[in-house]
Amino acid sequence: MTTQANRQRPVKGLALLGLIVGLSVGLAVYAITEYWIDKVESQQLPVTVLFFVCSSTLAFLLLAESGRFVRAGVSALVIAAIIAIPNYFMAAFVDNQDLFLTEFPVIFWFSLAGPIAVFLMVTLARASLEDGAPPPYSAVFFHGLTLPLIVGGATLFAILALVLLFAWAALLKSMDVQFFHELFQEPWFILPFLGAIGGLSVTLMRGLEPVLGALRFILLLFCRIAMPITAIFSITFLVVLGMNGTDAIFDKPYPGAMMLGLAFAGMLIFNGVYQNGEGKPPAWWMRIPTIITLIGFPVYAVIAAWAFWLRVGEYGLTPPRIAGLTITGLTVTYSLVCLAGLVSEINWRGARWMPLMAPFNTAMAVVWIVILVLMATPVMDPWALSAQSQYTRLAKGKTDAAKFDYGYLRFELGTSGEEALDKLLSLENHPQAVEIKDGVERARAAPNYWTYKDEGDEAPTPAPLEEDTEGPMSLELNPDDDSANTGEVPPDQAAADDENTTSPTP
């Protein structure tokens, strides 16, 4: 088994490899964009291949070791192949923009879910290459803490190199030398340059073990300092919750997102204190605050789940709500892992601290990978699930047909929304079949969503645009707007009002 000292050994001899691999990938990206993406009608496959090349290269540079290039290459290709499945599904958005698909699932996958899935897979692969499968949690923790530092540092290096390049070009331009300024605008030059700098930066950053060790120390020290503060906050929160109930929470905007943020902060701080699971229990002044924090963690998760579930029960599924519910479900599951850690504290004098947490943390990493990938595949198609949810609400009479937002199906859910509209037209025995038919026809006659909303006196009033300050969990898409003349509050605004002014009742 690889020891901690061996894991901290600087990686040498990979700089040239990183430079060559990065340069080759830059050339490949240029060839794909110049001679494939722009030359074909459907961009779904070339976009998927583009992401495959980039993700496999990054994974390889993070996994490569002297004498283990083949194993690292195979692992990198497997990771890229897994990610290619959701990438291909989400890349369909590029070809289907005329079908009026909401872009939220695409943004959520490529900006958050996809990177997290790749990070977790590379972490598990790196630990497995060193210690075999299944990897020990000590290796998983070490690389899970180190890999983001490598990527972050490499990104900083690449940005600085690019800034220096253009600063140099600007200086020469001011001296009437236009050649380099024009050269740096050429894709055939800048893309290979960025690839070479990126590959070189990753391998150089991997070799800076003293720097990485210092950064790890700072992060873990911060977690130990933050743990007593987190415990005090948890005590205050639980006391206020016991005295005032949920009013103090649900009176604030976006209670679900707020609770998720607190839960994730507590989760990260706890793992920074717990570290690799091989150490002895800490001193009582650190151990007791950790226990208090773990007690609060399930409370945050359950309140977040309650907030999201109330929104879904009242207003149906939308792609953001599907993402919110899924992440909340993962958070609730991890809170059960924390309860297992609390149970192990019964053995106060145990040689290891919370021994159940280590294997459960590794298992949770696998669960996160599976769920995040499935969320971006037809298995959990967010557009299809949302369309079915909205159709069911109207078909079962949970919402008034005269107030239903048919435009949301037409202009936000693509083919799935069109199929839902067809199914609504087939509800001939529905008590409001006439209103449903009129709503579907009006939605299909409108050229875009905004025209649909503004058309006629009975058109739904669009919710006021708000800046998304809570990330992908804000759940502000609008499946059911109400008529401006009905006196009713649009469903998405009602949800916001519930969060801002009203304490939801289970």
Exposure b/e, 176-191, CB count within 10 A at least 16 = b: eeeebbeebeeeeebb
Residue 455: its pLDDT value, please?
67
Looking at the DSSP bridge assignments, the partners of residue 199 are none
The stretch 336-362 carries a mean pLDDT of 88
283: left (phi over 0), alpha (psi -120 to 50) or beta: beta
The stretch 338-346 carries a mean pLDDT of 87
Going from N- to C-terminal start, the domains of the chain cover 4-207, 228-378, 382-501
Residue 80: its pLDDT value, please?
97
The stretch 203-225 carries a mean pLDDT of 94
Residue 340: its pLDDT value, please?
86
Indicate if the pLDDT at residue 112 is higher than 90: yes
Task: Give the alpha-carbon dihedral of 170, 175, 177, 183, to 10 degrees.
Answer: 0
What one-character-per-residue DSSP string does 20-84 give? HHHHHHHHHHHHHHHHTGGGSS--HHHHHHHHHHHHHHHHHHHH--TT-HHHHHHHHHHHHHHHH
The stretch 342-368 carries a mean pLDDT of 90
Residue 124: its pLDDT value, please?
97
Asked if residues 307 and 173 have their Cβ atoms less than 8 Å apart, the reply is no
**Distance between CA atoms of residues 333 and 289, nearest Å:** 22
**Considering only 97-106, 165-174, 308-317, which range has the smallest mean pLDDT?**
97-106
Indicate if the pLDDT at residue 98 is higher than 80: no
Indicate if the pLDDT at residue 122 is higher than 90: yes
Residue 214: its pLDDT value, please?
96
- Percent of the chain at pLDDT exceeding 70: 86
- Among 492, 491, 449, which residue's Cα sits nearest to residue 468? 492
Tens digit of each residue's pLDDT (9 = 90 or more) over 270-299: 999 999 988 889 999 999 999 999 998 888
What's 475's DSSP letter? -
Tens digit of each residue's pLDDT (9 = 90 or more) over 61-96: 999 987 789 999 999 999 999 999 999 999 988 777
- Residue 506: pLDDT band (50, 70, 90) is very low
Mean pLDDT across the chain: 85
Residue 5: its pLDDT value, please?
59
Predicted model pTM: 0.84
Cα–chain-centroid distance for residue 256? Answer: 16
Q: Which amino acid is at 228?
A: P
User: Both ends of the chain: CA-CA distance in Å?
Assistant: 51
Q: Where are the beta strands (DSSP E) in 371-501?
A: none
What one-character-per-residue DSSP string does 315-367 give? H---HHHHHHHHHHHHHHHHHHHHHHHHHHTTSTT-SSSSTTHHHHHHHHHHH
- Residue 346: pLDDT band (50, 70, 90) is confident
Indicate if the pLDDT at residue 261 is higher than 90: no
Residue 1: its pLDDT value, please?
60
Residue 9: its pLDDT value, please?
59
Indicate if the pLDDT at residue 6 is higher than 70: no
Residue 109: its pLDDT value, please?
96
The stretch 397-425 carries a mean pLDDT of 92
- Among 232, 344, 345, which residue's Cα sits nearest to residue 293? 232
Indicate if the pLDDT at residue 479 is higher than 80: no
404: left (phi over 0), alpha (psi -120 to 50) or beta: beta
Exposure b/e, 33-62, CB count within 10 A at least 16 = b: eeeeeeeeeebbebbbbbbbbbbbbbbbbb
- Residue 166: pLDDT band (50, 70, 90) is confident
What's 413's DSSP letter? B
Asked if residues 144 and 122 have their Cβ atoms less than 8 Å apart, the reply is no
Cα–chain-centroid distance for residue 272? Answer: 21
- Percent of the chain at pLDDT exceeding 90: 57
Indicate if the pLDDT at residue 466 is higher than 70: no
Indicate if the pLDDT at residue 357 is higher than 60: yes
Indicate if the pLDDT at residue 351 is higher than 90: no
Residue 494: its pLDDT value, please?
43
SS3 483: strand
Residue 13: its pLDDT value, please?
66
Signed CA dihedral, 211, 217, 221, 224: sign only: positive
Q: Which amino acid is at 146?
A: T
- Among 46, 40, 33, 34, which residue's Cα sits nearest to residue 91? 46
Q: Quick one: 206 exposed, middle or buried, by C-beta within 10 A (0-12, 13-18, 19+)?
A: buried
Residue 257: its pLDDT value, please?
83
**Distance between CA atoms of residues 148 and 154, nearest Å:** 10
**Distance between CA atoms of residues 312 and 469, nearest Å:** 20
